Amino acid sequence: MAFSYSCGFQTPKISFKCNPLVYCGRRFNSGPVYACIKNMDQEPKFKLLLDSVKWDEKGLAVAIAQDVDTGAVLMQGFANKDALLKTISSRKATFFSRSRSTLWTKGETSSNFINVCDVYLDCDRDSLIYLGTPDGPTCHTGEETCYFVSADDVLNSSETEEKKKVLTTLYALESTIYGRKEEKASPNGKPSWTKRLLLDDNLLCSKIREEADELCRTLEENEDTARTASEMADVMYHALVLLAKRGVKVKDVMEVLRHRFRQSGIEEKQSRQG
C-alpha cells in the first residue's frame, strides 16, 4: 500500500487546514505540524491509514528512509502513530526515539532533512518506507547512507572495514566511470575504453550516435528483444560516460524526470521551445 502525495503520483484528496508548500516538484498541503496532527487523526482516511498498520506491542513499526531518485536505503528507525502523522504533515522523515521516548525529525540538528514524497506500507503492514530526497548526508558519520559496511568484510575479519556504497547496477556503473575519470589524469593507470572516450569528445559523440542508430534498427528490422536490450545497454553506457564528462550525475537526470511525471510530454517540449 502506498500513501502517496508527491513525486508525480496522485495526491489523496484529504482536506485539512494547512498552508501549501512545495517538495519533490509538487504542491501539497502542510502547516503547523502539531495542529495538523491533531486534526489529521480525526480524518477518516488518516484513521484508516493508522488502523491499517500493525504496530507492535509498544506501538511502533520499522520505518526505512529511501532515496526516491537513486533507490539507496538511507537509514532505518522506528515510527509510532504520531511520527507517521508528523511525517505526512511536515513532509520531513520523522521517527520515534526508543531511548529518549520522543519524536525526532531527521535533520533537526544537522539540517540534513529527508523530504518525504511517499510513504509505503509493506505487505504485512508492519513496516514503512519513507520515500524522499535527502538534503545531505544521512548518516551521523557523514556518509550518504547508514549502510556502508559489507558483510563480507566482517566475515573475513577485515581489520579495517572499507566503507562501500550500496549501489544498484546503474549507479555502480556510474561510480566505475567516475573512477576511470579520476584515473585518466594519472600516466601510470592502465588503459581502458572508458578513459579513451573521456579523452576524445568526437569519439564519444560518434559512439553515442552509432549506438542510438543500432538501437533504432532493432525496432525497424524487428530484431530479437535481447538485441534491443543489448543495444540499449550500449547507449546507456556511452551516455553515462558523456554525463561524467560533463559532471552531470544520474541523480540529476532522475530528478528532471521526476519533475516531469505530472506534465504532458507535448507541453514539456513546447515549454522548451519558448
Shared domain check, 10 and 109 = yes
| Model pLDDT for residues 133-157, shown as the tens digit of each residue | 999 999 999 999 999 888 887 888 7
Terminal C-alpha separation, the chain: 40
**Number of independent structural domains in the chain:** 2
| Contact partners, residue 75, CB within 8 Å, separation at least 6 | 64, 65, 106, 138, 139, 145, 146
Q: How confident is the model at residue 41 (pLDDT cuts 50, 70, 90)?
A: low
Residue pair 79/63 in contact (Cβ under 8 Å)? The answer is yes
Tell me how far CA of residue 142 lies from CA of 71, 97, 250, in angstroms: 19, 20, 21
In a domain, 148, yes or no: no
In a domain, 211, yes or no: yes
Cβ burial 55-89 (10 Å sphere, 16+ → b, else e): beeeebbebbbbbbbbebbbbebbbbbbbbbbbbb
Domain CATH for 224: 1.10.287.1080
pLDDT of residue 43: 78
Structural domain range at position 229 = 169-264
- β-partners of residue 149 are 163
- The residue with cell 529527508 is 114
Shared domain check, 255 and 192 = yes
pTM of the full structure: 0.71
Task: Indicate the length of the chain as a whole number.
Answer: 274
Mean pLDDT of 5-21: 38
In a domain, 26, yes or no: yes
- What's the DSSP call for residue 184? T
Q: How many CA atoms lie within 13 A of 147 on its CB side?
A: 14
Shared domain check, 193 and 117 = no
Q: How confident is the model at residue 246 (pLDDT cuts 50, 70, 90)?
A: very high
Residue pair 180/192 in contact (Cβ under 8 Å)? The answer is yes
Shared domain check, 130 and 187 = no
DSSP element (H, E) containing 208: helix 201-220
Domain CATH for 118: 3.10.20.810
Mean pLDDT of 232-239: 98
Mean pLDDT across the chain: 84
Shared domain check, 188 and 119 = no
| Model pLDDT for residues 76-121, shown as the tens digit of each residue | 999 999 999 999 999 999 999 999 999 999 999 999 999 999 999 9
pLDDT of residue 150: 83
Q: Where a domain ends, among 134, 151, 184?
A: 134
